[in-house]
Amino acid sequence: MSIRIGNGYDIHRLGPDRPLILGGVTIPHNLGLIGHSDADVLTHAIMDAMLGALSLGDIGHYFPPSDDQWKGADSLELLDQVHQMIKAQGWSIGNLDTVLVAERPKLKPHIETMRNRLSERLSVAMDQIGIKATTNEKLGPTGREEGISAYAVVLLTQ
């Protein structure tokens, strides 16, 4: 068996009149993430980790923010495309693990829903999807609630 590992990171600004979508799940909050797409920072980090594992570049290469085609894009649909790319090369997801950095809202009540949504979308078991949340102890841009960031590590097997 061959294995490959990749990591991904993303951050998006928070602002009013936007939904907060994380891992394909809309989370009730007074602020949402701003982006050209739906700004699902968790799914973006996961896609970059999947691409990185196979040295395929990053999501901006495939879905340029300058292209109107991706305006308001559902990041789960982009995830489907990235998943197809890795499957086309004969790779499967071994597991993935992620960290969400958000001062607010409390994400713990939504983590199982996110894990479930992503495991269904990627056709893997829930125990292959790790999602953790932490505050940034009020430090830096995430600590000041200017944005939410996400880190992801993905292991691929062949």
Is 61 an interacting residue with respect to ligand L45E5XJ5 (CB under 6 A)? no
Give the Cβ contact number of residue 69 at 10 Å: 7
> How far is the C-alpha of 72 from the C-alpha of 51, rounded, in Å?
22
> How far is the C-alpha of 95 from the C-alpha of 119, rounded, in Å?
10
Q: Is 79:46 a contact under the CB 8 Å cutoff?
A: yes
| Nearest by Cα to 99 from 155, 32, 152, 147 | 152
Minimum CB–partner distance for residue 9 and ligand L45E5XJ5 (Å):
17
Q: From ligand L45E5XJ5, ligand CDI, none, which one binds at residue 106 (CB under 5 to 8 Å depending on kind)?
A: ligand L45E5XJ5
And the tokens for 98? 């992620």
Is 81 an interacting residue with respect to ligand L45E5XJ5 (CB under 6 A)? no
Residues 131-150 within binding reach of ligand L45E5XJ5 (CB under 6 A):
133-135
Please report the sign of the dihedral spanned by the C-alpha atoms of residue 129, residue 15, residue 66, residue 55: negative
Residue nearest to ligand CDI (CB): 35
Please choose, out of 43-51, 86-94, 129-137, 139-147, the segment that lies near ligand L45E5XJ5 by the rule CB under 6 A: 129-137
And the tokens for 33? 């993430």
Is there a binding annotation on residue 83?
no
Q: From ligand CDI, ligand L45E5XJ5, none, which one binds at residue 133 (CB under 5 to 8 Å depending on kind)?
A: ligand L45E5XJ5
Is there a binding annotation on residue 131?
no
* Helix (H) or strand (E) run with residue 8 in it: strand 3-15
Is there a binding annotation on residue 5?
no
Q: Report the interface residues with ligand CDI, using CB under 6 A.
A: 10, 35-37, 39, 44, 59-60, 63, 65, 70, 73, 78
Q: Report the interface residues with ligand L45E5XJ5, using CB under 6 A.
A: 102, 106-108, 133-135
